[in-house]
Amino acid sequence: MLSVTSFESIQDHVSHVRQVFFSGKQRDLKWRKHQIQRLYDLVAENEERLIEAMYFDMNKPRNEALVGDIAPVLDECLYFLDNLDALAKDQKVKPRSIVNKTAKAIIRKDPLGVVLIIGCWNYPVQLSLLPLVGAIAAGNSVILKLSEVSPYTAAVITDLFPKYMDTSCYRIVNGGVEQTTALLKERFDHIFYTGNGTVGKIIMEAAAKHLTPVTLELGGKSPAIIAHDADMQLSANRIAFGKFFNTGQICVAVDHVFVPEHRVNEFVAAMKITLEKWYGPNPQESESYGRIIADRHVDRIEAVLNNRTSGEIAIGGQIDKSDRYMAPTVVVNVKYDDAALMSDEIFGPILPVISYKEIDEVIGLINKREPALALYVFTNKEKLAEKVLRNTQSGGVSVNDCLVHQAEYSMPFGGVGGSGMGNYHGVKSFDTFTHERSMLVKKQAMEGTNNVRYPPYTSRKLSILRVVLVAHPWMLKLKANKSPLKVLAVFLAILFYLKRK
């Protein structure tokens, strides 16, 4: 069973890891690598326990647990073990100002301090431990708040953590709203949260009291667009993957799909082929289909379906509350202003289908909402995809596929506007948890040249400062035409040489 952290322990955890941070223990890169290696070992050596826990929490299939939770954390650990030395190295910068040409300009990569990471239940391993890897790599102390909504996985991580990690620097907190509220009263140097926008606003408000920066990984109603020219069966396959993977409980899941009005029936037929091939005639009996995380979420998703003001169920719709099961469901003829289906992120296995005539119509509808965390476009025409991207906003994009951009950890992942702020994955995780500390190093010499900046101020000193500090526009033109000027100089030199001959 998952034990709740006491309020007294929360204060002690934060105070203790801050004291250890100021001891400088985490500054050593070898020590950071050792902790990252231990986190790798925690996941790799206990993969079966973690997969079993996720199965108990939400009937998560083994393949989905590996792809969505286990593999990303292992890959991130290996990335930092291989690249940490280069990432943490001081960065030398060429001074722009002429007065600093003899000085050393350096950007140090300092840790922020004590970081709070608040994980999420839908990917309880990845969304808790992946940002933790970046925070460790950057040299921070960490308080890790696991999600109580996935209690089996949280209990396993809590049990394993002290056996592998240095708990003088990293502590786990478990509990619900009360424990999270208590945490937010403490001062942190950064807060990293994954979840919904409502809680994101609460976290941002609490962080503002301490001027604490935040990274908010939220969500939104991520649309998919099937263009007139798209391969329908391919599009259906990949949209089904983007909608029903993890039973639709993904922040970047396809929330709804725009389909040309003359191809809606074709899309439904293609989707039926896909779903029967994947899950059989009864998805409830399939070992490849998961469950909704909790009873209250089943009730919420059922209300979304039953309270809709438009559309007809073309596929699925079956619900078994005792099993927390909801069938893969497709609803056609949905109106974009449907209060139930189209107000908030669905976060479940219901796919509204909205028909359209022209792509400009779709772009206009998308821009009526806050930018989503993901945008999906299916087309063979690069210009059409580019038109959509030029005229919309989103956290990330996959063209002719779904979800995969989030799983490419060489790229930053994050939202914009209502879908979040800040990003992470790979080098961006290191940057998120790092303070770039600018440092200018000068020698105790050449004091005479500094007299021009000291009082008493004179018109002569002002003239010198103006020449030194304010570049004349002609200098920019000379730089811009550097190559032609070189050619001209060579040409004149050749003429001069020939004339002398």
HEC profile of 320-342: EHHHCEECCEEEECCCCCCCCCC
Percent of the chain with pLDDT over 90: 88
CA angle 404, 299, 221 (to 5 degrees): 35
pLDDT value of residue 474: 67
Q: From residue 171, how far is each of 156, 176, 330 by CA, in Å? A: 15, 16, 43
* CATH 3.40.605.10 in the chain, residue ranges: 7-218+427-437
> What's the burial of 404, exposed, middle or buried (CB within 10 Å: 0-12/13-18/19+)?
middle
| Arithmetic mean of pLDDT over the chain | 95
Sign of the alpha-carbon dihedral angle for 222, 226, 227, 229? positive
pLDDT value of residue 493: 72
pLDDT value of residue 449: 82
Contact predicate 417/370, CB 8 Å = yes
Give me the active site residues, please: 217, 251
Say yes or no to pLDDT of 484 above 90.
Answer: no
pLDDT value of residue 288: 97
Coil, strand or helix at 142: strand
> What is the pLDDT confidence band of residue 102, given thresholds at 50, 70 and 90?
confident
Contact predicate 112/429, CB 8 Å = no
Contact predicate 74/134, CB 8 Å = no
Say yes or no to pLDDT of 468 above 90.
Answer: no
Per-residue pLDDT of 153-189, as tens digits, reads 999 999 999 999 999 999 999 999 999 999 999 999 9
Per-residue pLDDT of 293-335, as tens digits, reads 999 999 999 999 999 999 999 999 999 999 999 999 999 999 9
| Residue partners of 322: CB distance under 8 A and separation at least 6 | none
What is the residue whose two structure tokens read 């069973």? Answer: 1
Topology of domain 223-413, CATH:
Aldehyde Dehydrogenase; Chain A, domain 2 (3.40.309)
Percent of the chain with pLDDT over 70: 95
pLDDT value of residue 485: 62
Per-residue pLDDT of 14-48, as tens digits, reads 999 999 999 999 999 999 999 999 999 999 999 99
Say yes or no to pLDDT of 49 above 70.
Answer: yes
Contact predicate 127/155, CB 8 Å = no
Coil, strand or helix at 317: coil
Give the whole-angstrom CA distance, residue 250 versus residue 69: 12
Scored b (16 or more CB within 10 A) or e, 210-220 reads eebbbbbbbbb
pLDDT value of residue 466: 87
Q: In sequence order, what E strands does 146-281 have?
A: 170-173, 190-194, 214-217, 223-226, 256-260
**Peptide bond just before 213 cis, omega within 30 deg:** no
Q: From residue 406, how far is each of 58, 251, 401 by CA, in Å? A: 22, 10, 11
CA angle 357, 362, 363 (to 5 degrees): 135
Closest CA to 252 of 384, 406, 417: 406
Give the whole-angstrom CA distance, residue 123 versus residue 144: 15
Contact predicate 222/253, CB 8 Å = yes
Per-residue pLDDT of 224-264, as tens digits, reads 999 999 999 999 999 999 999 999 999 999 999 999 999 99
Looking at this protein, which amino acid is placed at residue 43?
V
**Up-side HSE of residue 20: CA atoms within 13 Å toward CB?**
20
> What is the pLDDT confidence band of residue 487, given thresholds at 50, 70 and 90?
low
pLDDT value of residue 2: 87
Q: In sequence order, what E strands does 169-289 have?
A: 170-173, 190-194, 214-217, 223-226, 256-260
Closest CA to 439 of 75, 33, 22, 95: 95
Q: Which helix (H) or strand (E) element contains residue 463?
A: helix 459-469
Coil, strand or helix at 354: strand
pLDDT value of residue 479: 66
> What is the pLDDT confidence band of residue 445, given thresholds at 50, 70 and 90?
confident
DSSP 8-state assignment for residue 457: P
Q: In sequence order, what E strands does 418-494 have?
A: 420-421, 423-424, 434-441
Top CATH class, 7-218+427-437: alpha beta
Per-residue pLDDT of 268-284, as tens digits, reads 999 999 999 999 999 99
* CATH 3.40.309.10 in the chain, residue ranges: 223-413
| Predicted structure pTM score | 0.92
| 465-478 average pLDDT score | 74
| Residue partners of 361: CB distance under 8 A and separation at least 6 | none
pLDDT value of residue 490: 65
- The pair of structure tokens assigned to 222 is 């991520």
| 94-121 average pLDDT score | 94
Contact predicate 216/422, CB 8 Å = yes
In angstroms, the first-to-last Cα distance of the chain is 96
Kindly report the length of the chain: 501
